[in-house]
Amino acid sequence: MMPYAELHCLSNFSFLQGASHPEELATQAAELGYAAIAITDQNSVAGVVRAHAAAKDAGLKLLIGAEMTPQDAPPVVLWATNRNGYGELCHLITKGRRRAPKGDCHLTFDDIAQHHTDLLAGVLPPAHTEQIDVARLHQYRELFGDRCYLLAELFRGPHDDKRLAWLRGLELQTSIPLVASGGVLFHTPTRRMLHDVITAVRYRTSVAQAGHLLQPNRERHLRLLADLNILYRGHEELLARTVEIADQCTFSLDELRYEYPRELAPEGMSPMEYLTQLTWDGAQRRFPEGVPEKVRGLLQHELQLIEELQYEPYFLTVWDLVRFARSRDILCQGRGSAANSVVCYCLDVTSVDPSRIEVLFERFISRERNEAPDIDIDFEHERREEVLQYLYAKYGRERTGMTAVTVTYRPRSAIRDVGKALGLSQDLIDRLAKNAGYHSTGEKFPIRCKEVGLNPASAIGKRFISLVTELLGFPRHLSQHTGGMVMTRGPLHCLVPIENAAMEGRTVVQWNKDDLDELGILKVDCLSLGMLTAIRKCFELVKQHHDLDLTLANVPEDDTKVYDMICRADTIGVFQIESRAQMSMLPRLKPRCYYDLVIEVSIVRPGPIQGDMVHPYLRRRNGEEPVTYPNENIKRVLKKTLGVPLFQEQCMQLSIVAAGFTPGEADQLRRAMAAWRRPGLIDQFRRKLLAGMQENGLTGEYAERVFNQIRGFGEYGFPESHAASFALLVYVSSWLKCHYPAEFAASIINSQPMGFYAPAQLIRDARDHNVEVLPIDVNFSDWSCTIENQALRLGFRLISGLRQETIETVVQARMHGPFSTMDEFLVRTQLSRTELARLSDADAFRSLNENRRLSFWNSLAQSDSPTQPSLFSPQHFVDDITPELPQMSAEQEVHADYRTTSLSLRAHPLSFYREELDQLRVIPNGDLKHIANNNSVRVAGLVLLRQRPSTAKGITFVTIEDETGAANLVVHQQTWDRYRKITHHSRAWLVHGYVQSKDSVIHVVANRIVDLSDKLHAVQTKSRDFR
């Protein structure tokens, strides 16, 4: 039996053409005993990295190639023989894609001619006819010489023998040898149904009507070697040739090493010298009283490691980026494991003083890891674009690109596409989609389908469910990642193809973050943090109104008032500690210093919760439990956290001091814990750890416990450095909230979308702190919120549907003096009817004595596209006759407020029903604190937030709000499911339950939920949902 290598495969990265994941193809080929496999997507190598990982695991050889479709020649499959060939292939794909709009590729034969070295070519004759442009075949032959082949693909069609004969004829005529290939579209025949479905989706029709667009049979899968031998009987050399071709290709993706950009150091200095100089200069600046011994030692250790691993260009690149941002007054801060580096601190990349935390450089870079470091930098989200443009300008379009994000099918999109393809009625599809979850279909999916009228036991129901489940996770298209940038020394397009993104002037590489990580290619993540924008805006407002120049570095530390506020859990709007979970923790943990904040930020996370670290820590902190350590070494590591390991670095350090690991080995241990898919690896480390600990005299039970804690941390624990960077921002934002609440609220609102709460709650919180809040008005407000006589004046940005240019016009016109009548406003601003209607609906004309209805009435007189008033048509917009318009009730006004701005300064929608609710024995949320633990109670409110953390065993936390405040609900899984219609779709609830109060943290556990939406249907609120 002849061996075989599959040379022509489309994976699902040929969007809507391939029906299998690249790793599925690789794994299946290995199981079938193929000699090798080539994943050859159309004009793309987006899927090869996933295939690479799977092929490596299975021990199968992977060829890298792509199917190129020039517009003036037959399509040809190209395979890379070595690194150079691979570079040519990437360059070719880049050329074709950069020329075309997003998602397309325009290539000509000449393009291929310019990039043919070290590539093998397999020309693809058309599938359904026996006609081909022989002249072009000759040209291919001339171009590629004996690297050119002709693909013979047989699919058990009506006349395979004739086709083969024709191909043999071509072979003689053009001297291009034939080679067998599969034209594979899916890995097993059972995927054929899904392939028909995606074909129907591709051509926007249904499967029943797609006709000959569908494949006539299932042959285009990875076939058994035996079947291939039967199919090509009499032509066995075609099969043998596939292995010949595979043998010629020796390129592997592992060969792609990162190549740093070069223009990093000034003339006459090597990059390492430059880095060293910058570091010591920075150290002087950071420690003006002299660099401490400890720090000096750390710096020398780090610089030595950097030089050894040759990472200095990377640090210089990042330093340059941060320097640029600071020069433009863009707030930024390094996050993540980079805060473990003192060099980074001296370079101003991170802001965490290494003397305040225990740094562990190996958490950031280690010899054993042998891959480039990963620095994430947070920038103000509104100005991040400037930073990205700087990178493009400095390194050029050819050497920088953004990482891609693979947008995949989610439940709703999968349901819609599969439903349309199967011919389900549109209304049924809509209902199925609305009833499904956001992220996955899960086991309850058949029940969901039944609820809306699709019987899951019927033939079509079964098919529908299985097809949707298969389609989930399939890539749909590539989109740009928010901020990951790749920069190279040589042209980027020799490393990976670049294509156009949807946005003008943006380009994207064909691989995503995980692919780049897998291959060890370096990227800088320029992340955006809303809070940085808010802090900067607040600094500006404080300077403007109080003439105080604040920076992240000079905010007064250790302010008791601020810590009092934090312990009270009065933290709405504050970075990181405003969530419900955090607010429940604050009164128990009671942070009183910076390091307490570091702990607070890290402790409310899945890692510590699952590892059962939280309660022991709190008990020890409150003095309920003695603090003990097995020995002195461990005490040193765990002292700051009272003997309970909370941080990733601590776990690593434990393995070092307790089990004798080297720092590099400790880092490997941490990463192995994260690789839970490879249990064999974890086992190895477990044995080593236990053995090491035993040598140091630590007993079995303690050792086991340590091991389990370390395991729990691998995936979820916070690095201490990361928490430390964040804790800085927590303190600064708390300080601002405490001392300048009006400015703080204004900045957070002006930086939306961000944070946990909507403007309505932020404003309510500001009012609770005695900030006066003034409504939006054409005579006073700007686009953004402003401070007016120490009160917060709301801005026009809160009105949905208004454009900033419209408001610019108003503000400009107002510079000549305030408006006194509607007529004057219309003449001076010349806004269109729709814009006026929006303003009047938002009640922005109150200072002109025009209520909503009256101003709307007057706005109607304006034509839709006003022109300049001319001499001949003096436009009297407002008649002298005031119309008799009925008055709006208070409730209607509040509903209108919510409709336009999602908030109301007048009253809360629920306040109008207080009497009715009283009759139903519902208590206002503000009275909850007077109810004793375990008493039954009824509460009602609008749904603000729903959160279902992964550690909470299916419990959902819901926050509802009425006119007296918010209430936190606990909804167990059964309750959630029992009232699913309400919990899923309703925005106003009446809840029967009982009170759970502990340490001044109050929750209501829900037993029964009643829908209040029909009373409040006019109120449109959006609940923010979190994991």
Q: Kindly tell me which of 561 and 876 has the beta carbon lying closer to another protein.
A: 876
| 886 contacts another protein (rule: CB under 8 A) | yes
Amino acid letter, residue 563: Y
CA-wise closest residue to 414 among 197, 209, 192: 197
Rounded Cα distance, 358 and 649, in Å: 8
Nearer to another protein by Cβ, of 210 and 569: the residue is 210
Candidates 55-63, 337-345, 451-459, 584-592 — which segment interacts with another protein by CB under 8 A?
451-459
Contact 74, 127 (CB under 8 A): no
Q: Which stretch binds another protein (CB under 8 A): 412-420, 422-430, 629-637, 801-809?
A: 422-430
Q: Using CB under 8 A, which of 170, 185, 207, 372 touches another protein?
A: 207
Identify the residue among 489, 545, 853, 978 touching another protein (CB under 8 A).
Answer: 853
- Torsion angles phi and psi, residue 25, rounded to 5: -65, -45
Q: Please, is 599 exposed, middle or buried when counting C-beta atoms within 10 Å of its C-beta (0-12, 13-18, 19+)?
A: buried
What dihedral do alpha carbons 666, 672, 674, 679 form, nearest 10°? Answer: -150
Distance of alpha carbon 566 from alpha carbon 543, whole angstroms: 25
Q: How far apart are CA 842 and CA 427, in angstroms?
A: 34
Query: With respect to another protein, which residue has the nearer C-beta, 811 or 861?
Result: 861
Buried b (16+ CB within 10 A) or exposed e, 615-630: ebbbebbeeeeeeeeb
Within 71-205, residue ranges assigned H as helices are: 83-99, 109-114, 134-144, 160-174, 192-202
Our finding on whether 691 is near another protein (CB under 8 A) is: no
CB of 453 vs another protein, minimal distance in Å: 4
860 is a site residue for another protein (CB under 8 A): yes
1018 contributes a contact to another protein by CB under 8 A: no
For strands 965-971 and 1001-1011, give the pairing.
parallel
The residue (of 323 and 846) whose beta carbon lies closer to another protein is: 846
Q: Which is nearer to another protein, 191 or 536 (CB)?
A: 191
Residue 361 DSSP code? H
Query: Using CB under 8 A, which of 270, 304, 425, 790 touches another protein?
Result: 425
Residues contacting another protein: total by CB under 8 A = 51
Stretch of 59-67, 383-391, 427-435, 538-546 contacting another protein, by CB under 8 A: 427-435
Structure tokens given for 948: 């279902």
Residue 231 or 303 having the CB closest to another protein? 231
Task: State in angstroms the smallest separation of the CB of 890 from another protein.
Answer: 14
Per-residue H/E/C for 705-750: HHHHHHHHHHHHCECHHHHHHHHHHHHHHHHHHHHCHHHHHHHHHH
**Please, which residue, 385 or 891, has the CB nearer to another protein?**
891
Would you tell me how many other CB atoms lie within 10 Å of the CB of residue 480?
19
Q: Does 230 bind another protein (CB under 8 A)?
A: yes
484 DSSP β-pair partners: 525
> Least Å distance between CB 184 and another protein?
16
452 near another protein, rule: CB under 8 A? yes
Q: Which of 135, 172, 204, 212 binds another protein (CB under 8 A)?
A: 212
Beta carbons of 982 and 1008 less than 8 angstroms apart: no
CB-based contact 549:402 (threshold 8 Å):
no
Q: Is 1014 in the site for another protein (CB under 8 A)?
A: no
Query: How does DSSP classify residue 924?
Result: P
CA pair distance 732, 737, nearest whole angstrom:
9
E-strand stretches of 285-389: 332-335, 376-380
Site string for another protein, 187-206 (x = CB under 8 A): -----xx--x----------
Min separation Cβ 427 and another protein, Å: 3
Contacting residue, 291, 405, 861, 970, with another protein by CB under 8 A: 861
- Contact between 159 and another protein per CB under 8 A: yes
Say if CB 472 and CB 440 are below 8 A apart: yes
Q: How long, in residues, is the chain?
A: 1027
Helix (H, G, I), strand (E, B) or coil at 458: coil
Q: Any contact of residue 158 with another protein (CB under 8 A)?
A: yes
Q: Which of the stretches 169-177, 687-695, 822-830, 878-886 binds another protein when contact is defined by CB under 8 A?
A: 878-886
Residues in contact with another protein, shown as a per-residue x/- string from 356 to 395 under the rule CB under 8 A: ----------------------------------------
Asked if 417 contacts 200 with a C-beta cutoff of 8 angstroms, the reply is no
Q: Which of 631, 570, 511 is nearest to 253 (CA)?
A: 511
The nearer residue to another protein, 157 or 587, going by C-beta atoms, is 157
Report d(CA 335, CA 348) in Å as an integer: 12
Please choose, out of 286-294, 314-322, 882-890, 995-1003, the segment that lies near another protein by the rule CB under 8 A. 882-890
* Rg for the chain, CA atoms, rounded: 33
Angle at 566 (CA atoms; ends 563, 567), nearest 5 degrees: 90
Under the binding rule (CB under 8 A), the answer on residue 884 touching another protein is yes
Single out the residue of 59, 135, 172, 233 in contact with another protein (rule: CB under 8 A). Answer: 233
**Smallest distance, Å, CB 25 to another protein?**
21
Residue 120 sits at the vertex; the CA angle it makes with 119 and 125, to the nearest 5 degrees, is 130
Minimum CB distance to another protein smaller for 804 or for 882: 882
Q: Does 176 bind another protein (CB under 8 A)?
A: no
Using CB under 8 A, which of 165, 208, 548, 1018 touches another protein? 208
Range in contact with another protein (rule: CB under 8 A) among 344-352, 360-368, 417-425, 797-805: 417-425
DSSP state of 888: P
**Shorter beta-carbon distance to another protein: residue 159 or 639:** 159
Window of 423-431, 472-480, 574-582, 662-670 that interacts with another protein by CB under 8 A = 423-431
Q: Give the nearest distance from C-beta 719 to another protein in angstroms.
A: 51
Q: Least distance from C-beta 159 to another protein, angstroms?
A: 7
The residue within the footprint of another protein, chosen from 505, 623, 679, 883 (CB under 8 A), is: 883
Nearest-angstrom CA–CA distance, 421 and 312: 54
- Span interacting with another protein, options 38-46, 152-160, 165-173, 249-257, rule CB under 8 A: 152-160
Q: Quick one: 154 or 278, whose CB is closer to another protein?
A: 154
Closest of 641, 645, 629, 630 to residue 714, by C-alpha: 645
Candidates 123, 137, 454, 508; binder of another protein (CB under 8 A) is 454
Half-sphere exposure of 410 (CA within 13 A, CB side): 9
Q: By C-beta, is 156 or 984 nearer to another protein?
A: 156
Tell me if 927 contacts another protein by CB under 8 A. no
Q: For residue 166, what are the contacts with CB-CB under 8 A and spacing of at least 6?
A: 130
| Alpha-carbon dihedral 979, 984, 985, 986, rounded to 10 degrees | 60
By C-beta, is 575 or 857 nearer to another protein?
Answer: 857
Among 33, 71, 101, 156, binds another protein (CB under 8 A): 156
451 contributes a contact to another protein by CB under 8 A: yes
Phi, psi of 481 (to 5 degrees): -75, 145
**Residue 885, interface with another protein (CB under 8 A)?**
yes
Stretch touching another protein by CB under 8 A, among 620-628, 677-685, 712-720, 852-860: 852-860
Backbone φ, ψ for residue 494 (5° rounding): -90, -5
Give the range of 82-90, 213-221, 473-481, 842-850 binding another protein by CB under 8 A.
213-221
Interface with another protein (CB under 8 A)? 128-129, 155-161, 192-193, 196, 207-208, 211-214, 216-219, 230, 233, 422-423, 425, 427-428, 430-431, 451-454, 463, 841, 853, 856-857, 860-861, 879, 881, 883-888, 892
